[in-house]
Amino acid sequence: MNMKSTKTLLILVAIISLVFSSCSSEHSHDVSSEKSEAISIHDQCKMDAKEFHKKLANQFANTPQSDSTFMYLVELDARYVIWKKSLVKLPGTECNHTSGEDHVHDHAAESALEKLSDEELLDLQKAIRSELDQIICDFNTLLGEAC
């Protein structure tokens, strides 16, 4: 083994050791299937919500206030704002804001979620997803599109 390979191996071993030693034995990295699915639903909601909000903003920009659909857009936006507040960081997940995104957390809600079982977290995420789907469906219906 040459000197460069030895240094690379030593660095790799040091990194691996650091990773494993930084994990305490008090917590487990095992994630239940329910929590994994809840996280997946949560992440998909964030992406779909961002896409929806862009479409809604575009529709606002192209709809005069005198148009009969404008007030429906206002209502959808209000529902979206309320829905967005229900989408809080799940326990055990990292904060992963994208560049330019607000870094706001409802720490009380996050704390309350820590008391829920993984199954309850999954049920909650399904309900949150269902509400977003309804908002998007209502928007599509307003535009004369299918849900």
pLDDT digits (tens, 9 = 90+) for 28-83: 557 899 999 999 999 999 999 999 999 999 999 999 999 999 999 999 999 999 99
What distance lies between CA 103 and its chain's CA centroid?
13
Residue 147 CB partners (closer than 8 Å, separation 6+): 133, 136, 137, 140, 141
pTM over 0.85: no
What are the residue ranges spanned by the domains of the chain? 30-94+104-142
* Count of H-run helices and E-run strands, the chain: 5, 0
Per-residue pLDDT reduced to its tens digit, 105-140: 555 566 677 888 999 999 999 999 999 999 999 999
